[in-house]
Amino acid sequence: MHRIIAAFLAATSCVAVAQAQENITAQQSVGAVFTLDDAVAAAGGSAPAADAAQAGIDAARAGRTVAGLRPNPTVQSQVENVVGSGPYGGFRQAETTVGVNIPIELGGKRSARIAVADAQSNRAVLIAAITQADIRVQVTALYIDAIAAERRVVTARDQLRIAQDALNAAKVRVQAGRASPIEEQRADVARLNAQAGAERAARLADAARANLARRIGKPIVGPLDTAALDLLPPASYGPNMVESAGTLAMAAADADLAIADAGVQLAKSQRVPDVTVGPALRRLEVSKDIAAVFSVSIPIPLFNSGRAAVAQASAERSRAEAQRRMTALDVEQAITDAQAEADNAATTARNASGPALVAAQEAARIARVGYREGKFGQLDLLDAERTLADTRVAAIDALASYQNAKARLQRLTAPAPAQGN
């Protein structure tokens, strides 16, 4: 009888392995593997945030063009000595003047405006880079969730197969009179629970795949790169060096400080009054003669000398400098925490998918053999199978946690693009 049960379980396992191989072959025939880089590239082209960042770059470049423009001249015309009394009645004594007022900027206002616009353009490029980095983190989380969900489906279906095998074995034992019918009922309950778990896992996998497809803006054709979940770094111990210089966050803080510096120079340039020159021609109606007229106007900084604007810009510069120091501290702390989180997740993943999983698999194997040979009870078998299922799920969760932690760490340490890129 023991041989019959063992042969039956072995045949069932062979059928399950053959079906799994057929599923893998069918999956590979659907199309090429849809990798994480493919998903990030697709999301970058359809994300509204990327469109907004590009619009910001376009606006900053247009602002640079506007900043380089000079003030427009003004055409003016005036008629004097008309519609008065005595000889000035009517237009007989009229003097008509037509001229152009040309504003001349002094104090380096134009170059100061250009400097502000250039700093804002650099900030817009950084915003676009930050947006792309954020998109990668978001897509990575969805991609990892999707492949982890698919891995859970495989685990749940495998547990369902094991539960079905255990039920069949229990039926054989009951029919042979070697076990109570309670064992069959208990095994059937375990099978029903495993079936419900497989259905839940399949729904969650479909939802995760749909969320990823929605985020990248197109349906996913082909299988996902499930092997990406298993990539773990070698075990390392000791402190990690924290470097915040050159990261996107620090580059953004530096860009804000550069804008503030340019704003101070612009405010100082505004204190220098501009000059307006006005060459004109005057026609005297009486003699029909033409004469040239030149005018020069300079505003008097009596009520607004520009000191308040300079003080405001200087305060903004001090705020940006303090914010930069705060950002440096925050970034270093965030990198340290993210590095520790990634290292801990890697350690957990290595243990859960390595020694712990091997031990759980061996315990389940021994329990199955012992149950078939009548050395262990059914409760021992169910407990070993439950431990194996929990360990498998824990391994998947640990691997997913590491991949997400690594993505967040890469986001924090992402280098800023070189100026001009």
Higher pLDDT, 217 or 24: 217
Rg (CA), the chain: 39
- Percent of the chain at pLDDT > 90 equals 49
Check pLDDT > 50 for residue 288.
Answer: yes
Q: What is the pLDDT of residue 210?
A: 94
What do you get for the CA distance between the two ends of the chain, in Å? 75
The predicted-structure confidence for 196-206, as pLDDT tens digits, reads as follows 999 999 999 99
Q: What is the pLDDT of residue 190?
A: 85
Check pLDDT > 90 for residue 145.
Answer: yes
Domain assignments of the chain as residue spans, ordered by start: 2-70+105-271+306-412
Higher pLDDT, 28 or 132: 132
Question: Which whole number is the average pLDDT over 158-165?
Answer: 86
Q: What is the pLDDT of residue 19?
A: 42
DSSP assignment of 249-318: HHHHHHHHHHHHHHHHHHHHHTTSPPEEEEEEEEEETTTTEEEEEEEEE----SS--SHHHHHHHHHHHH
Question: Predicted confidence band at 372 (pLDDT cuts at 50, 70, 90)?
Answer: confident
CB 34 within 8 A of CB 222: yes
CB atoms within 10 A of CB 389: 20
Strand partners, 90: none
Question: Predicted confidence band at 373 (pLDDT cuts at 50, 70, 90)?
Answer: confident
Question: Which whole number is the average pLDDT over 138-162?
Answer: 93
Question: Which whole number is the average pLDDT over 286-293?
Answer: 86
Least-confidence region, from 12-26, 228-242, 388-402? 12-26
Q: CATH fold of 2-70+105-271+306-412, please?
A: Outer membrane efflux proteins (OEP) (1.20.1600)
Check pLDDT > 70 for residue 418.
Answer: yes
CB atoms within 10 A of CB 130: 19
Question: Which whole number is the average pLDDT over 2-22?
Answer: 38
Q: What is the pLDDT of residue 258?
A: 96
Check pLDDT > 80 for residue 235.
Answer: no
Question: Predicted confidence band at 237 (pLDDT cuts at 50, 70, 90)?
Answer: low
The predicted-structure confidence for 48-68, as pLDDT tens digits, reads as follows 888 999 999 999 999 999 999
Least-confidence region, from 78-82, 134-138, 339-343? 78-82
Question: Predicted confidence band at 103 (pLDDT cuts at 50, 70, 90)?
Answer: very high
Check pLDDT > 90 for residue 384.
Answer: no
Q: What is the 3-state secondary structure (H, E, C) of 97-128?
A: EEEEEEEECCCCHHHHHHHHHHHHHHHHHHHH
Q: Does the predicted TM-score (pTM) go above 0.85?
A: no
Strand partners, 247: 415
